[in-house]
Structure 1
Amino acid sequence: MPPRPARRITDSAPKDFGMFARALGREGLIHLELGMPAEDTPQHIKDATVAALQAGDVHYSDLAGNADLRAALATRMPMPMHADEIIVTNGLTHASFAAFMAFVDAGDEVILLAPYYPQHIGKVELAGGRVVIAPLDAANGFALNADLIAPHLTDRTKAIALVNPCNPTGRVYTRAELQDLADLAIAHDLMIFSDEVYADITYDGATHIPIASLPGMKNRTITMGAFTKAFAMDGWRLGWIAADASLIPALAKITTSEVTHVNTFIQHGALAALQGPADVLAGMVARDAARRDLVVGRLNQMPGLHCAPVEGAIYAFPDISATGLSAQDCAIRLMDEAGVVVEAGSFYGAPGEGHLRVCFGAADMETLSDAMDRMQRFFNAL
């Protein structure tokens, strides 16, 4: 008999890759199910990385990350933040895992706001915690609402996980919404684990506000970001944690035990991303906005669909409930009959039922137009 895996593995929820797993190995499909940028990593980022590699910056470095990179990240925060309050990580996945492992004890409860980011579930459970789902209201645009969250609090509640801008809904939460959540956290002495990977991708004047910047929140918030989406560096696996100095030692104990530190020379590429020409990032966001306009506009022309405006991130979240199809059935039929892979909204929790998540950031305009044509024909025929 093979050795039995640790209970932390067998007792955790199985990792579900949704429609991606169903589409594996199939040809002729247009993939709009994964949050993978269509853009290439900008050239100046590649050049800085290659230069560091050629210069011999290939050995061990600061365990928390390159000091210049951490200083640059600290200056991007909208409240006073020191370089020593930053840890460079292997993507946001590593950052969030470190947060849960460092601060969630066995039996602690962590609230996920549904529609939620599914990957957080396994991490909470691996840390020994218990996930509690607080459904948000689709009829109210999935707004943050303390009255919907408070009934799910118990004496075991340790933290609330926030994703802002939101995957999958495309919401960018207002200051008033964030203050409502902050007031709840302060009143009940809760932490906030804030995933802000889409912070640089907002549209039409929407403003991303880190919840850690609100009064009384810095010392109870772990902010996590990455170079993945805005700089099209998903395969680079570079992210970061920003947290009050009092929280850093616990986080560092996890990150250094796992990976010692992040790849040395690619951190020069990350620094170049932050210090490079502002028009590079602006251009990429502008192209995302054009993709958004195409997809949202076309979805709203399809019978039985309604797509709310997308304020940030790279996803449309159309309501398909008028078609009479469940989210999962619709996603499967779109793949089988139209050759377009999107994710079922129910993958993100019960409040996502009746929706699809369509990643418009994952393809060029020509491919997106083809995908919308295919979807139009499908919904016309229902």
Structure 2
Amino acid sequence: MSLVARRIREGSKKSFGMFEKAMALAAGGADLIHLEVGRPSHDTPGHIVEATVEALRAGHHHYSDMRGLAELRSAFAAKLAAENAMDVTAEQVLVTNGLTHGSYAAIMATVDPGDEVILLEPYYPQHVGKIELAGGKVVMAPLDANADFAIRADLIEAAITPATKAIVLINPCNPTGRVFTRAELEALAELAIRHDLLVISDEVYEAITFGAKHISIASLPGMAERTITLFAYTKAFAMDGWRLGCAIASPELVAAMMKITMNDVTHVNSFIQYGALEATLNGSASLAEMVAEDRAKRDLVVRALNQMPGVVCPEPEGTIYAFADVRAIGMPSQVLAERILEEAHVVVEAGSFYGPAGEGFLRVCFGSESRERIEEAMVRLGTFLGRL
């Protein structure tokens, strides 16, 4: 008899992609420039830190509301009304330990064994393991690289079967940098309504856009009751280590998700929620400064990549990632990423890490290093590609 549960033994092993390979090289003292992990290079703004320290000094050391701090849930609901055209109450807001925890609770609360969940490919790999832990089956709907990875209803509908329960959407999209248009989201919404499907919408990068308008799919007609929308303070406010997010859903779905969250964490750390409250109420100036810096680094990376042989890189509309087309180089993306690591000491992610639809691309994170280190990375990368 194995002491390990079958769902763990037989499930997919979570991989950190090129990060794991880079750590082995770094252990030998190599000077690596990390453009693979989506960790913000900014520090959490000082006023958010101070609000958290003050909460500790004020004695917020104890248990709080299982759903999350009431003031935070009310403030986030007001933010959604003002910025996302989502008409929700504080009772529809569940504070989570980051978006990862929110998506786990969403999937565990809605997916039964045998249910199929569609991921749009290129996909975010972390969702795969959660679906499998719930007993669900992952089904890929590959998008067309030659159409800028646009949402096409025909490609998604081809993956729908009587067992399909949900579609996972990431908007703005990691890894492609797309911000989906209203027409694309309406096409997806029409499918969800016609086939009676749930949409789990990961919107962690909602605030990091560069001219394109982010639209929450839950704001479209008929979608509020069939969408779980997931947000986090991770990227926008450089609060990745804080592990703070919010899940938005109907009262019925929030109650179901709480059966997961109350059993795995009870509730989110009390005092750090005051930092999230400060970010929600007074974070717009800090956010604008950080997004402006991300835009400058995006422009630097895109300009440099498009001057390299065999590389075509469209401007990301959002997120902190460029998805560079390297198909002209004629080398599998994983092989190319590994050679870049070993020979240039720059860490980028192979497009194939995000599924076969990402083959022939490299994901380059421009949000994880300083501008100076990114400039050095582009010099190293250009030199390497010039030798091929």
The alignment status of 1:84 with 2:87, answered yes or no, reads no
Determine the C-alpha separation between the residues in 1 that align with 2:309 and 2:61. 56
Determine the C-alpha separation between the residues in 2 that align with 1:75 and 1:352. 37
User: Which one of the candidate residues 155, 162, 166 is aligned to 1:155?
Assistant: 162
Q: Give the superposition deviation at 1:17.
A: 1.2
Equivalence for 1:33: 36
Note the alpha carbon deviations across 1:64-94, whole angstroms, 9 max, x for none.
0000101111112222110000000000000
Unaligned runs of 5+ residues in structure 2 are none
The alignment status of 1:13 with 2:20, answered yes or no, reads no
Equivalence for 2:266: 260
Aligned partner letter, 2:15: D
Q: Give the superposition deviation at 1:4.
A: 2.3
Note the alpha carbon deviations across 1:127-164, whole angstroms, 9 max, x for none.
00000000000000000011111111110000000000
Equivalence for 2:69: 66
| 1:307–1:319 CA contact under 8 A, matched in 2 | yes
Note the alpha carbon deviations across 1:19-52, whole angstroms, 9 max, x for none.
0111114131101100000000000000000010
Aligned partner letter, 1:351: A
Equivalence for 2:351: 345
Equivalence for 1:23: 22
Unaligned runs of 5+ residues in structure 1 are none
Determine the C-alpha separation between the residues in 1 that align with 2:379 and 2:272. 40
Give the 5 Å matches for 1:157-306: 157-203=164-210, 205-306=211-312
Aligned partner letter, 2:368: A
Equivalence for 1:317: 323
User: Which one of the candidate residues 43, 48, 58 is aligned to 1:55?
Assistant: 58
Determine the C-alpha separation between the residues in 2 that align with 1:362 and 1:210. 26
| 1:337–1:378 CA contact under 8 A, matched in 2 | yes
Determine the C-alpha separation between the residues in 2 that align with 1:114 and 1:108. 19
Equivalence for 2:124: 117
Q: Please, what TM-score do these two structures have when normalized by structure 2?
A: 0.97
Determine the C-alpha separation between the residues in 1 that align with 2:293 and 2:185. 28
Determine the C-alpha separation between the residues in 2 that align with 1:324 and 1:249. 51
Determine the C-alpha separation between the residues in 1 that align with 2:105 and 2:284. 31
Determine the C-alpha separation between the residues in 2 that align with 1:215 and 1:244. 14
Determine the C-alpha separation between the residues in 1 that align with 2:125 and 2:73. 29
Q: Give the superposition deviation at 1:280.
A: 1.0
Note the alpha carbon deviations across 1:187-240, whole angstroms, 9 max, x for none.
00000000000000000x211100000000000000001000000000000011
Q: Give the superposition deviation at 1:246.
A: 2.4
Count of aligned residue pairs for this structure pair: 380
User: Which one of the candidate residues 43, 47, 52 is aligned to 1:44?
Assistant: 47
Aligned partner letter, 2:232: A
Q: Secondary structure at the match of 2:364?
A: strand
Determine the C-alpha separation between the residues in 1 that align with 2:268 and 2:284. 25
Q: Secondary structure at the match of 1:361?
A: coil
User: Which one of the candidate residues 107, 130, 136 is aligned to 2:137?
Assistant: 130
Q: Which runs of 4+ in 1 moved over 3 A?
A: none
Q: Secondary structure at the match of 2:367?
A: helix
Q: Please, what TM-score do these two structures have when normalized by structure 1?
A: 0.98
Q: Secondary structure at the match of 1:110?
A: strand
Q: Give the superposition deviation at 1:103.
A: 0.1
Q: Give the superposition deviation at 1:277.
A: 4.5
User: Which one of the candidate residues 314, 317, 340 is aligned to 1:308?
Assistant: 314
Question: Is the deviation greater in 24-33 or in 139-148?
Answer: 24-33
